[in-house]
């Protein structure tokens, strides 16, 4: 059985292995044991806190194969961007200049440094072991974040964003970074990406110029990747769009990947999820399939399962009850898979 649950400190070896597999390009999952250990600790501390309003909390989730005990995926939610460090992106804007004497009008694009996403939540760190990219595991991993936000809504603000992975070649080179960032930071893309993940983003504020960047003055290779996810990131982009996220012209300052956003309450998995009491055990396989989420934050766990929805509650298979640690009479949140597809 495959589950997704809140992370524990003893997950560190499995998480580090996934970080090494994902590197480079995933800023929030650096292959550094001390940084990842701190992320797990922050998640555990965040879960233990009583929250009045969203702040510097991070919730780290792992996917586990219960049969082997292997950690095969990661996902995370940053409660409120900018609560500790400034969060930067570029906003792509169109500007028109005209000259009456020449009877000429020119429209071009500019990139402006922005803190637009400060105060948003961020869904991040979505990574799945290549061997497990099947059987709906990716959707389960992604949707668990939304069910977590729905279940513990008071811990999050109105809006949420997501950064995609931008284009880089087989050698780890980013055309956008080579054209822009490399001139100001004097380091390679992977090195800057890792530095930001370990030390925070203050170095961006210190070194990145505040003036707008004229897109038409960049090399064609850099222009071509603005707002484009990496090939590996395209399925993640599609899942985000299916949930209601939209690109509104913001891009990552390192690789120009699209940054998408929406209101948390407008996310498809949030809107269509339901609370129910477990009233019995389902003994047959003719029920609908759903993502099942437990209701306690300290032991929050999800899995894909058959479900029978009845008046007064739901019935679940014995294997689901055992795998998720659910007992009759417990409250769960569930999402019927068919209702969240587009």
Q: Are 206 and 163 within one domain?
A: yes
Q: Report the CATH number that the domain containing residue 160 is assigned in CATH.
A: 3.40.630.30
Residue carrying structure tokens 């649950």: 5
Q: What is the pLDDT of residues 98-145, one digit of tens each?
A: 888 888 888 899 999 999 999 999 999 999 999 999 999 999 999 999
Q: Are 246 and 333 within one domain?
A: no
Per the domain annotation, does 208 fall within a domain?
yes
pTM summary value: 0.91
Q: Are 264 and 277 within one domain?
A: no
What is the maximum span of the chain, computed from C-alpha positions, in angstroms? 81
Task: Indicate the number of domains in the chain.
Answer: 2
Provide the percentage of residues in the chain whose pLDDT is more than 90: 70
Q: How far apart (Å, rounded) are the C-alpha atoms in residues 77 and 58?
A: 6
Q: How far apart (Å, rounded) are the C-alpha atoms in residues 303 and 316?
A: 12
Which of these, 162, 158, 132, 133, lies nearest to 145 by C-alpha position? 162
- In terms of residue numbers, what domain contains 292? 273-340
Q: How far apart (Å, rounded) are the C-alpha atoms in residues 227 and 229?
A: 7
Which of 236, 251, 268 marks a domain boundary? 268
Q: Are 62 and 124 within one domain?
A: yes
Give the rounded distance of the alpha carbon of 262 from its chain centre.
13
Q: Are 173 and 260 within one domain?
A: yes
Which of 250, 268, 286 marks a domain boundary? 268
Runs of H (alpha helix) within the chain: 12-22, 33-48, 137-151, 175-179, 182-185, 189-199, 202-207, 220-225, 234-243, 268-272, 318-324
Q: Are 152 and 25 within one domain?
A: yes
pLDDT band at 207 (very low <50, low <70, confident <90, very high): confident
pLDDT at 25: 63
Per the domain annotation, does 107 fall within a domain?
no
Greater model confidence, 285 or 68: 68
DSSP 252-267: -TTT--EEEEEEGGG-
Q: Are 173 and 146 within one domain?
A: yes
Per the domain annotation, does 26 fall within a domain?
yes
Q: Are 236 and 322 within one domain?
A: no
Q: Are 191 and 298 within one domain?
A: no
Residue carrying structure tokens 């939540």: 121
């Amino acid at each position: 059985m495959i589950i997704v649950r809140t992370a524990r400190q003893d997950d560190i070896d499995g998480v580090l292995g996934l970080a090494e597999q994902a590197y480079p390009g995933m800023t929030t999952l650096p292959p550094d044991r001390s940084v990842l250990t701190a992320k797990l600790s922050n998640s555990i501390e965040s879960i233990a806190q009583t929250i009045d309003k969203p702040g510097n909390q991070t919730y780290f989730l792992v996917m586990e194969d219960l049969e082997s005990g292997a950690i095969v995926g990661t996902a995370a939610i940053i409660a409120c961007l900018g609560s500790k460090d400034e969060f930067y992106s570029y906003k792509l804007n169109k500007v028109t200049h005209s000259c009456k004497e020449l009877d000429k009008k020119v429209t071009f694009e500019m990139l402006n440094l922005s803190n637009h996403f400060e105060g948003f939540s961020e869904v991040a760190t979505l990574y799945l072991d290549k061997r497990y990219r099947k059987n709906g595991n990716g959707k389960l991993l992604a949707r668990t974040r939304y069910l977590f936000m729905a279940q513990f809504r008071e811990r999050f603000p109105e809006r949420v964003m997501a950064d995609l992975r931008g284009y880089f070649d087989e050698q780890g080179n980013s055309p956008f970074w080579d054209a822009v960032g490399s001139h100001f930071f004097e380091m390679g893309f992977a090195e800057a990406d890792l530095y930001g993940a370990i030390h925070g983003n203050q170095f961006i504020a210190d070194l990145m110029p505040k003036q707008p960047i004229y897109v038409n003055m960049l090399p064609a290779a850099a222009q071509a990747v603005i707002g484009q996810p990496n090939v590996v990131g395209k399925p993640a982009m599609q899942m985000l769009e299916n949930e209601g996220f939209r690109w509104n012209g913001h891009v990552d300052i390192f690789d120009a990947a699209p940054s998408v956003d929406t209101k948390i309450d407008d996310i498809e998995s949030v809107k269509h999820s339901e609370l129910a009491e477990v009233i019995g055990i389902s003994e047959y396989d003719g029920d609908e399939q759903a993502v099942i989420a437990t209701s306690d934050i300290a032991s929050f766990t999800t899995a894909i399962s058959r479900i029978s929805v009845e008046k007064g509650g739901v019935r679940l298979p014995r294997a689901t009850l055992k795998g998720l640690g659910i007992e009759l009479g417990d409250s769960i949140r569930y999402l019927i898979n068919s209702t969240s597809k587009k």
